[in-house]
A = this chain, B = another copy of it.
Amino acid sequence: MGKNDDSDIIEHHVEEEMEKKCARSHAASSSYFESVTPSEREGQSNTQSSHRLLAYSDALISIIATVMILPVAHTKVKDNEELKESVQILLTTKIAVYLMTFLIVSVAWGAHIRLFQVIVHIDDCLALLNLACMMLITFLPYTFSLMATFPEHILGILLFCGCVMVIGVIQSVVVLYAFSRPFLLSEQIQISENQTFYKQHILKVIMRVPIMCFLASIFSFIFFQLSYVLLAIVIFLPYVSQGLKWCRSKAVGQVEETPDSMMFYTYLPNQPLSKERVEAFSDGVYAIVATLLILDICEDNVPDPTVVQRQYGGSLIAALQDYGPEYLAYFGSFATVGLLWFVHHSLFLHVTKATRFMGLLNTFSLAFVGGLPLAYQLTQEFPRNSRNELEAIQISCVIIFFAGIFQLAIWVVALHSERETLHPYVWYGGREHVFMLAKLALYPCVALGTFFLTCCLSQFSASIFHLMEITVPFAFLVLRILVRIGLALLRLLFCPDQPDLRTVVEEEVDEMRAPFNALVT
């Protein structure tokens, strides 16, 4: 450790360069291939890297998961009722549908990741099967809407179970197909001798959920409440049981050494998760949330020409001035979404290995991020200085707080096994550690502070809230300097032999200008 680790980021960059050169020289000589006979090449002529298929699936799944917030956000909350009551009505159905969709779709996405960690190459047939699978996954939100609207009809349950069973069958076909063409599989399985064992193990894990759903659909004819319990168990039990097992093993301290073959394709919380796909999924969610905001602006805030003529005497500017708060709300909300993405980006830049548990926390964070369009709708809907407006701000603060606190939780979990999951720069005591903490803590702190401000100050308004949201980016820019100065002051107080404040600040400035040329040439 130590010196070597310290240069990992740079190494990473230069490695990329080296790889490129490596690849180039390889392509130029291609001597390796002159030794391969044409018949050996045939096998792979139709196979393709699965990268783009996965990227498309990630985009699709993340948008599906998030877009269900639209029916929630577009429900008109009547202004004369108390906001709390309206929100409670919303909560019972639409928010439940949104959260359930988000969770279920995330679970399906997790299964998709697991599957395509085994199958690393695709061909046309697998691509089409995957599209069929995606079609059914995108249909799941509809079955949820039915369940939520008609909780006592079994049709919603049957439709949902039917979809899940068909998805299970398609995934089994994918597995069988891939194992019949071993060149599609990951290297680890290709070279292993007991492929049949792997195949059966994977099929067993995949078919577990459809079989439970089959039982649930049968029970629904007898006693439909039981079906709901069964479905909840299907989705959460693996996580809960594995989580408890993991916690116990951590608490007792004994690390059970499970054989390598059993560690494979499980729900263990420290099972690695493709970091690339977690990032792609998160990007999709952040992007669609940012877009839903402008969609609302474009649909609602273009005045009708006749109204402008009649009410404002043809003055468009006067008509648009009424929408002032909406614009402010838009820019404020966009800044919040953008900066939450920025924090997420900074965090995952220093994550070297994502685990399943971090993925779960990330899903929770994203579920709250997906709630931001609701916050946007609520904060710009009510008249100024009404009770409702304050409550809308409070709801926004709660949403932002949880979105931020789960990001922080990811980091805390990662710190728990920092040597495996984090880059040395952000280890406890690393040079970026405190700055990263400050970045991650900024949004929860601001949200919490604002929440308590709304309780004390009755003059607090949505406009002030949105102005605050817009000014947060500048906080990020000064944060770095502040953290540096703070650290320098601490050092000055406790270790006076260290370089003093001025040197540290100068160092910082120097660092920002240090040329990288020397390293490249």
Contact = CB atoms under 8 A, between A and B. Distances in A.
Interface of A: 3-4, 6-7, 9-19, 22-23, 26-27, 30, 32-34, 36, 38-49, 52-53, 55-56, 59-60, 63-64, 67-68, 70-71, 74, 121, 124-125, 127-128, 131-132, 134-135, 138-139, 141-142, 145-146, 149-150, 153, 155, 180-183, 187, 190-191, 279-280, 283-284, 286-288, 290-291, 293-295, 297-299, 301-303, 305, 308, 316-317, 320, 330-331, 334-335, 338-339, 341-342, 345-346, 348-349, 425, 431, 473, 476-477, 480, 510-521
Given A138-B334, A149-B305, A290-B138, A513 B181 contact: yes
16 contacts: A7-B41, A15-B26, A42-B510, A43-B514, A44-B519, A55-B279, A56-B283, A67-B294, A67-B295, A68-B295, A124-B477, A135-B331, A181-B513, A183-B519, A190-B516, A190-B517
B13 A23 contact: no
A56 B141 contact: no
A473 B138 CA distance: 18
Contacts of A46: 511-512
Contacts of A183: 515-517, 519-520
Contact of A56 (B146, B330, B341): B341
Contacts of A41: 6-7, 10, 519
A19 B22 CA distance: 7
Nearest to A470: B135
Contacts of A513: 180-181
A256 to B, nearest CB: 29
A187 B16 CA distance: 12
Given A52-B345, A60-B287, A60-B290, A44 B149 contact: no
A19 B499 CA distance: 43
B320 A155 contact: yes
A316 B40 CA distance: 58
Contacts of A334: 135, 138
A145 B32 contact: no
A43 B516 contact: yes
Top 3 closest pairs, chain A to chain B, by CB: A183-B516, A43-B514, A59-B287
B181 A298 contact: no
Contacts of A68: 295, 298
B52 A142 contact: no
A293 B180 CA distance: 35
A27 B43 contact: no
A13 B181 contact: no
Nearest to A513: B181
A36 B519 contact: yes
A342 B295 contact: no
Given A41-B7, A345-B127, A139 B60 contact: no
Contacts of A431: 45
A135 B330 CA distance: 10
Contact of A339 (B131, B317, B520): B131
B283 A45 contact: no
A341 B34 CA distance: 35
A512 B43 CA distance: 6
Nearest to A153: B316
A519 B45 contact: no
A39 B128 contact: no
A60 B127 CA distance: 25
Given A146-B302, A302-B149, A480 B124 contact: yes
A516 B431 CA distance: 47
A288 B63 contact: yes
B514 A42 contact: yes
Nearest to A330: B139
Contacts of A17: 187
Contacts of A346: 124
B511 A299 contact: no
Contacts of A70: 295, 299
Contacts of A43: 511, 514-516, 519
A288 B288 contact: yes
A73 to B, nearest CB: 12
